[in-house]
Amino acid sequence: MYSYALLEKGCYYLIQEKEEGPIGLIKVNMETDQCMYVSRYADETLVEWKKKSDPIFDILELLGDDKVKAWESIYNDNVNYEEDEE
Protein backbone atom coordinates (compact mmCIF):
# COMPACT_ATOMS: atom_id res chain seq x y z
CA MET A 1 0.00 0.00 0.00
CA TYR A 2 1.26 3.47 -0.92
CA SER A 3 0.33 6.99 0.19
CA TYR A 4 0.14 10.45 -1.33
CA ALA A 5 3.40 11.36 0.44
CA LEU A 6 5.31 9.41 -2.24
CA LEU A 7 4.05 11.65 -5.08
CA GLU A 8 6.00 14.63 -6.40
CA LYS A 9 4.68 18.12 -7.05
CA GLY A 10 4.09 18.95 -10.72
CA CYS A 11 3.87 15.32 -11.82
CA TYR A 12 1.01 13.34 -13.37
CA TYR A 13 0.28 9.83 -12.11
CA LEU A 14 -2.03 6.98 -12.97
CA ILE A 15 -3.20 5.61 -9.64
CA GLN A 16 -5.70 3.18 -8.19
CA GLU A 17 -6.88 4.30 -4.75
CA LYS A 18 -8.72 1.07 -3.91
CA GLU A 19 -7.90 -2.49 -4.92
CA GLU A 20 -11.01 -2.95 -7.07
CA GLY A 21 -11.41 0.76 -7.87
CA PRO A 22 -10.99 2.53 -11.19
CA ILE A 23 -7.68 3.82 -12.49
CA GLY A 24 -7.49 7.60 -12.34
CA LEU A 25 -5.18 10.33 -13.56
CA ILE A 26 -4.04 12.93 -11.03
CA LYS A 27 -1.60 15.82 -10.95
CA VAL A 28 0.02 17.04 -7.75
CA ASN A 29 -0.29 20.84 -7.79
CA MET A 30 1.01 21.79 -4.36
CA GLU A 31 2.45 20.24 -1.24
CA THR A 32 2.27 21.41 2.39
CA ASP A 33 3.76 19.79 5.48
CA GLN A 34 0.71 17.51 5.90
CA CYS A 35 -1.28 17.61 2.66
CA MET A 36 -1.21 17.49 -1.13
CA TYR A 37 -3.42 19.64 -3.40
CA VAL A 38 -4.26 17.43 -6.40
CA SER A 39 -6.24 17.67 -9.61
CA ARG A 40 -8.21 14.54 -10.47
CA TYR A 41 -9.14 14.19 -14.14
CA ALA A 42 -12.34 12.44 -15.20
CA ASP A 43 -15.34 13.79 -17.10
CA GLU A 44 -14.64 17.02 -15.22
CA THR A 45 -11.58 18.14 -13.33
CA LEU A 46 -11.87 17.90 -9.55
CA VAL A 47 -9.35 19.74 -7.40
CA GLU A 48 -9.04 18.50 -3.82
CA TRP A 49 -6.81 18.28 -0.78
CA LYS A 50 -5.52 14.87 0.28
CA LYS A 51 -3.60 14.01 3.44
CA LYS A 52 -0.13 12.75 2.73
CA SER A 53 -1.06 9.68 4.78
CA ASP A 54 -4.19 8.90 2.68
CA PRO A 55 -3.75 5.44 1.15
CA ILE A 56 -3.23 4.62 -2.50
CA PHE A 57 -3.57 0.96 -3.42
CA ASP A 58 -1.24 1.23 -6.43
CA ILE A 59 0.77 3.88 -8.26
CA LEU A 60 0.66 2.44 -11.74
CA GLU A 61 2.72 4.96 -13.64
CA LEU A 62 4.42 8.34 -13.54
CA LEU A 63 3.59 9.90 -16.90
CA GLY A 64 6.43 11.38 -18.90
CA ASP A 65 6.16 14.71 -20.72
CA ASP A 66 5.34 13.08 -24.07
CA LYS A 67 2.45 11.10 -22.56
CA VAL A 68 1.12 14.19 -20.77
CA LYS A 69 1.14 16.20 -24.02
CA ALA A 70 -0.69 13.41 -25.87
CA TRP A 71 -3.26 13.12 -23.07
CA GLU A 72 -3.76 16.93 -22.86
CA SER A 73 -4.48 17.03 -26.61
CA ILE A 74 -7.15 14.34 -26.30
CA TYR A 75 -8.63 15.76 -23.08
CA ASN A 76 -8.82 19.32 -24.44
CA ASP A 77 -10.43 18.11 -27.68
CA ASN A 78 -13.15 16.36 -25.63
CA VAL A 79 -13.74 19.45 -23.46
CA ASN A 80 -14.00 21.70 -26.53
CA TYR A 81 -16.35 19.21 -28.26
CA GLU A 82 -18.69 19.17 -25.26
CA GLU A 83 -18.73 22.99 -25.10
CA ASP A 84 -19.60 23.18 -28.82
CA GLU A 85 -22.62 20.91 -28.27
CA GLU A 86 -24.17 23.37 -25.79
Q: What is the DSSP string of 45-76?
A: EEEEEEETTSEESEEEEEPPHHHHHHHHHHHH
- What is the helix (H) or strand (E) element at residue 77, kind and residue range? helix 65-85
Q: Which residues, 6 or more positions from 23, have their beta carbon under 8 angstroms from its beta carbon?
A: 14, 15, 16, 60
Structure-model confidence comparison of residues 52 and 78, the more confident one: 52
pLDDT band (50, 70, 90) for residue 82? low
Q: What is the distance between the alpha carbons of residues 34 and 85, in angstroms, rounded to a whole number?
A: 42
pLDDT at 52 over 80: yes
pLDDT at 83 over 70: no
Give the pLDDT confidence score for residue 80 in this predicted structure. Answer: 58
pTM of the model: 0.85
25 bridge partner residues: 14, 41
Give the pLDDT confidence score for residue 33 in this predicted structure. Answer: 97
